Amino acid sequence: MEWRLWRQSWRPWLRLFVMAAAVVVITQEGCVCGGDVTYDGRSLIINGERRILFSGSIHYPRSTPEMWGSLIGKAKEGGVDVIQTYVFWNLHEPQPGQYNFSGRYDLVKFIKEIQAQGLYACLRIGPFIESEWTYGGFPFWLHDVPDIVYRSDNEPFKFYMQNFTTKIVNMMKSEGLYASQGGPIILSQIENEYQNIEAAFHEKGPSYVRWAAKMAVELQTGVPWVMCKQTDAPDPVINTCNGMRCGQTFGGPNSPNKPSLWTENWTSFYQVYGGEPYIRSAEDIAFHVALFIARNGSYVNYYMYHGGTNFGRTSSAYVITSYYDQAPLDEYGLLRQPKWGHLKALHAAIKSCSTTLLQGLPTNFSLGQLQEAYVFREETEGRCVAFLINNDERNNATVQFQNASHELMPKSISILPDCEKVIFNTATVNTNDTKRIIRTTEIFDSMDRWQGYTDVIPNYENSSLLSDTLLEHMNVTKDVSDYLWYTLRFQHNISCAEPKLVAESQGHATHAFVNNIYIGNAHGSHDTKQFIMQSPVVLSNEINNISLLGVMVGLPDSGAFLERRFSGLTRVEIQCSENEFYNFTNYAWGYQVGLFGEKLQIHREENIHMVEWSKANTSLNQPLTWYKTFFDAPIGNDPVALNLSSMGKGEGWINGQSIGRYWVSFLTSKGEPSQIMYHVPRSFFKTSENLLVLLEEAGGNPLRISLNTISLSTLPKHIQYYHLLQ
């Protein structure tokens, strides 16, 4: 019904009521004009021309500057017009007023690379971004600002949000990167899916939305601003759709003078530890893109077009290091076929008739019980475009259209650029599949090559912070480390035949040591936030030391009142029986942030001498052990990955650069790890003597680690299936 009503909104579009997102001038005719990028009820207008645009999300810090050119070039070859990226506040302002825009964080260089290849850019400043990025992109120092309430009509938060947004806008302006200056940026985004939590803030939610929109518009970028999933986006900000099926779910713009834009078309979905990859077919993506265009849409962004890698500690809670590997360009930047090729053909088909789609008069009518047509006609030019749709997911359908019979495949859309001949069908894939080829170039199976260092287990007496209760994890670590030690000591006065240590946590994992002896670990999951570890213990007759290592695997990235989240231990006790226990929750606790090896940064070559390393055979399968070895880079230019299938949980570095967290021991319901291959960008390598360092939390065997190159082979057409991450 909503789309039937859409036809009624067409008349305002014909009046060409053009809205600008910058400073505007209203003429006597009611046309709102200004800058080089404007919009009306049909589309964005660039230099006076309406455009149907296909966009692809590529996040600059999830790849490397050496990869940017190739990624953007492949997107362009695939028919993409716009590169869309978030801006990552925590990377750029790690401390108040201290900025970092170097290396992978060089936003200006990334935007200029987009411009050099003749594409547009959409800059999603946020600065809250979610994006399965730790803390939703917020720098953790915000947490300690007095009286702050994130994403609300709250003066402390608005002050810092405006500061950072202004910083980014002024940086883009100074480089001449907005379209109004001749640059590539045609859209900017403020906030991100705020309506999901708006009600939690009561009256301070809507007022915050109005403030954010006004603040952004007053920055005078000369290009439109958008708010995604925000039906109350104030004029002139455009409300946009996120999801997999916006052609069906989007209620439309909140004004007849705004275009239908789709800012996130999820090409797959993020994956968590313990979870399987989500496979979305090329046919399904193409169907919903074609449907969105048929129903008045004019901008579609693929989230992600290239997902890349969550290097370092950047992923949010429980999210794996590989990001959207099933996108049209996989984690390594290789073509994911047939997805890439099928979408390229779709883009070409729609662009071949875009003039009529943008200027023609639309109609929509039934062709059968589950079949319909969307038709665009230019009466003066005599041109016509048709989308013939079969919504039946199981059966073919034969329909009559313009005195001709058309066979429609199940759940498919046929595009007829002249209303006669079909040039594209969403369910007909003419691109061959590709298979990922993994070639092992080296196995690190020699004991002589590895050295190990077992980290220090702290006790209460050498703790740096003391408290008489259990403290919240994130508030103590300030996100400088995943790790927080909780330590206590007590005199043995427990009359218990078979004592058991019980630790309840709202963190992500806990490792337990009693009198420096490792007794076990436990962890939660993305869907089960709270967990309990129970392990038998042997207590000394004198002083007992308990050292519990709380572990975070990324900070939370979504939800209201993010600043109030609690993580870490909530209850610790020695249990003798169900009804007999000794509670240590409110007790004298000592704390230490991070591991000793972390503080010394022994993953860096200049610091490895700061601890005493030994032959690895003395530390194999030991908890909290650092391993190091040296190796030469693989010959050639193919992407490179480490196979860490023999390890447990931890983090890896090549020449001091983190390739991300690994958690191989966390198995899916099928008994397999969520990820075993870890991308090492070629730019991380030297020609020879590359330093590999691993921090292993719970054991693992480095002697089975291998170095591999990644390439593709094309499969015959009769073999049509998807190859999952290996």
Compute the distance between CA of residue 630 and CA of residue 603 in angstroms, rounded to an integer: 12
Per-residue model confidence as pLDDT tens digits over 390-442:
999 999 999 999 999 999 999 999 999 999 999 999 999 999 999 999 999 99
Compute the distance between CA of residue 388 and CA of residue 353 in angstroms, rounded to an integer: 15
Burial label for 582, CB within 10 Å (0-12, 13-18, 19+), is middle
DSSP lists the bridge partners of residue 590 as 466, 487
Residue 28: pLDDT over 70: no
Is the CA virtual torsion 387, 391, 394, 399 positive or negative? negative
Mean pLDDT value of segment 229-248: 98
Specify the length of the chain in residues.
726
Mean pLDDT value of segment 558-565: 98
Per-residue model confidence as pLDDT tens digits over 484-525:
999 999 987 777 888 999 999 999 999 999 999 999 999 999
Q: What pLDDT, on the 0 to 100 scale, is given for residue 277?
A: 95
Mean pLDDT value of segment 314-331: 98
Both tokens assigned to 383: 């041109």
Compute the distance between CA of residue 309 and CA of residue 59 in angstroms, rounded to an integer: 10
Q: Check: pTM over 0.85? Answer yes or no.
A: yes
Q: At what angle do helices 282-294 and 339-351 cross, to 10 degrees?
A: 20
Mean pLDDT value of segment 306-335: 98
Q: Coil, helix or strand for 199?
A: helix
Mean pLDDT value of segment 608-629: 91
Per-residue model confidence as pLDDT tens digits over 431-481:
999 999 999 999 999 999 999 999 999 999 999 899 999 999 999 999 999
Residues 521 and 650: beta-carbon distance below 8 Å: no
Residue 26: pLDDT over 80: no
Nearest to 234 by CA among 225, 223, 243: 225
Residues 117 and 76: beta-carbon distance below 8 Å: yes
Is the CA virtual torsion 251, 255, 260, 261 positive or negative? negative
Nearest to 422 by CA among 438, 441, 402: 402
Q: What pLDDT, on the 0 to 100 scale, is given for residue 354?
A: 98
Question: What positions carry a catalytic annotation?
Answer: 193, 264
- Return the H-helix or E-strand segment holding 5: helix 2-6
pLDDT band at 2 (very low <50, low <70, confident <90, very high): very low
Backbone torsions φ then ψ of 448, nearest 5 degrees: -70, -20
Burial label for 181, CB within 10 Å (0-12, 13-18, 19+), is middle
Residues 137 and 89: beta-carbon distance below 8 Å: yes
State the average pLDDT for the chain. Answer: 93
Q: What pLDDT, on the 0 to 100 scale, is given for residue 717?
A: 58
Distance of CA 678 to the CA centre of its chain: 17
Report percent pLDDT > 90 for the chain: 88
Both tokens assigned to 446: 């020699």
